[in-house]
Amino acid sequence: MISTIAPENYTVNITAAEGQDTTFTVSLKKAYLQTADFYDAAYVLTDFSAVLNKYATTEVVGNPNEAVKLTYTNKNDVEGEVEGNKVFVYTYQLEVHKFDEAGTKLQGAEFALYTTEANAKNEENAIATGISDANGIVEFKNSNNEVMRVASGKYFVKELQAPEGFNKYTDVIPVEINVTYSHTFANGTYIQNAPEHGTASVDVKNSKTVLPQTGGQGNVIAYSIAITLAAAGGIIFFVARKKKKNSADKAA
């Protein structure tokens, strides 16, 4: 049975600086170490979670965490140290490549990144957003305006706004970062297969907005768009025709 050490029996000190490794130290208080309860346990486990920052690499070499060790002093004031395991953390990046039907790169398209399809459909709880640059590339950034790093797995992309003069792509776009890991360390990594440079991308096309012209031809274009978009457009079309016919009958 695992028992939890009460917060009053330990302290946590964190050292963090821009562009440097973040370290933390968990120190058990001397009064607690002098109790029999502590020495009745075979292991001491430290469970923590962390978020990789913009300095984390997406390459197969990963982000090794090797400064893990346990330093302790027993109830007889004898110091000891136990080295921990070297842990590799892997992270990846997602991009959207935006262009029109002719293959021209489009700038100014806004996208959001989600962890579930439902959130993408409702456009809520986005984990990152991005706008396509002059090369048509969307680089997702978090709320701190840092390039978003994510774990391997499946994500969902939604276009929030299209470039001026183009129709927005309204479907939810699933994108998966497929990675195969090995149980053995070989060639400096546990990764067997992963996206090149740790970046997965998806292509999204926009079609140009078609505006009706004046005169009879413009009406034909408007009716065609209404019929093509949805059944509701067809209903509006027939209602309009019927109303026009009734008006003509009354005039007669």
Q: What domain count does the chain have?
A: 3
Tokens of 251: 């005039």
Q: Does the pLDDT value for residue 113 go beyond 90?
A: yes
pLDDT band at 236 (very low <50, low <70, confident <90, very high): very low
Residue 85 sits in the same domain as residue 114: no
3-state SS, residue 130: strand
Residue 116 sits in the same domain as residue 141: yes
Domain of residue 232 covers 216-251
Which pLDDT tens digit goes with each residue over 10-39?
999 998 887 777 888 888 888 887 887 777
Residue 97 sits in the same domain as residue 165: yes
Q: Does the pLDDT value for residue 185 go beyond 90?
A: yes
Tokens of 242: 């019927």
Share of the chain above pLDDT 70, in %: 81
E strand residue ranges, the chain: 10-15, 23-28, 63-65, 69-73, 79-83, 87-89, 93-100, 110-114, 128-131, 137-139, 153-161, 173-177, 180-186, 189-193, 199-206
Within 8 A by CB and 6+ apart from 228, the residues are none
Question: Is residue 2, in this structure, part of any structural domain at all?
Answer: no
This model's pTM is above 0.85: no
Rounded CA-CA distance 142/129 in Å is 7
Give me the pLDDT at residue 68, please.
77
Q: Does the pLDDT value for residue 98 go beyond 60?
A: yes
The residue among 20, 54, 89 that closes a domain is 89
